[in-house]
Amino acid sequence: EAQVTQNPRYLITVTGKKLTVTCSQNMNHEYMSWYRQDPGLGLRQIYYSMNVEVTDKGDVPEGYKVSRKEKRNFPLILESPSPNQTSLYFCASSSSLYSAGATNYGYTFGSGTRLTVV
Amino acid sequence: DQQVKQNSPSLSVQEGRISILNCDYTNSMFDYFLWYKKYPAEGPTFLISISSIKDKNEDGRFTVFLNKSAKHLSLHIVPSQPGDSAVYFCAASASNDYKLSFGAGTTVTVRA
């Protein structure tokens, strides 16, 4: 089954304790991205990757790191988590750029990771 | 600065009636628009999309309308069913760009 898998689904941690949220896709997609969802703000992009070893900042990258050593994996790293990073996180992947006339463009999302930093 | 805006955080509708969800965007480079549906404890799933070369796209009970001059799109669900109760996100993209920009979402509740 084609899917994006995130782990863990739920995580409670303390301020300053490094953590990693894993993301893996089995669709051979080039593009992967991390979003966070917060009430009233919707989904905001944290980081994205166009391909292996190619990553860039999204709209809210502060306090996060990513790596893309393999095509299928795109972990999100919080070196020193703070309470304002308490959120619902989604990993997503896509196979192609959108181009005019395309009908199948879009993201496949993981099921989400609910992170609480106390 | 959000480039995609959904100004109605919630919508309550009677089963069998029409649900209309609205979305506005500010970036004139956007030329592809999508709606995603999200249930609690799940990731968003693709619902329907529309290219800027069209003004309407229909898929079963779901129709998306695009008004480029007003930078506005809407999603119509007819008839609304209890299983449609979910959060709906509007998203937009520009040609030759991977990034999707999302709105804040509208929570739809369908009353029996």
Q: How confident is the model at residue A97 (pLDDT cuts 50, 70, 90)?
A: low
Could you tell me the two tokens for B25? Answer: 């965007």
Interface of A with B (CB under 8 A): 4, 31, 33, 35, 40-45, 48, 50, 58, 90, 92, 94, 97-103, 105-107, 109-112
Whether residues B43 and A4 touch (CB distance < 8 A) is answered with yes
CB A118 within 8 A of CB A13: yes
pLDDT digits (tens, 9 = 90+) for A25-39: 999 988 899 999 998
Q: Residue A103 pLDDT > 60, yes or no?
A: no
pLDDT in the model for residue A101: 47
pLDDT in the model for residue B97: 74
Residue by residue, pLDDT tens for chain B (112 residues) are 789 999 999 999 999 999 999 999 999 999 899 999 999 989 999 899 998 999 999 999 999 999 999 999 999 999 999 999 999 999 998 877 778 899 999 999 999 9
CB B75 within 8 A of CB B98: no
Whether residues B98 and A50 touch (CB distance < 8 A) is answered with yes
The dihedral sign for the CA sequence A95, A100, A102, A105: positive
How far, in Å, CA of A31 to CA of B45, rounded? 17
pLDDT in the model for residue A5: 97
pLDDT digits (tens, 9 = 90+) for A2-61: 899 999 999 999 999 999 999 999 999 888 999 999 988 989 999 999 889 999 999 999
**Hey, is B24 helix, strand or coil?**
strand
pLDDT in the model for residue A72: 96
- Cα–Cα–Cα angle for A19, A64, A5, rounded to 5 degrees: 60
pLDDT in the model for residue A104: 55
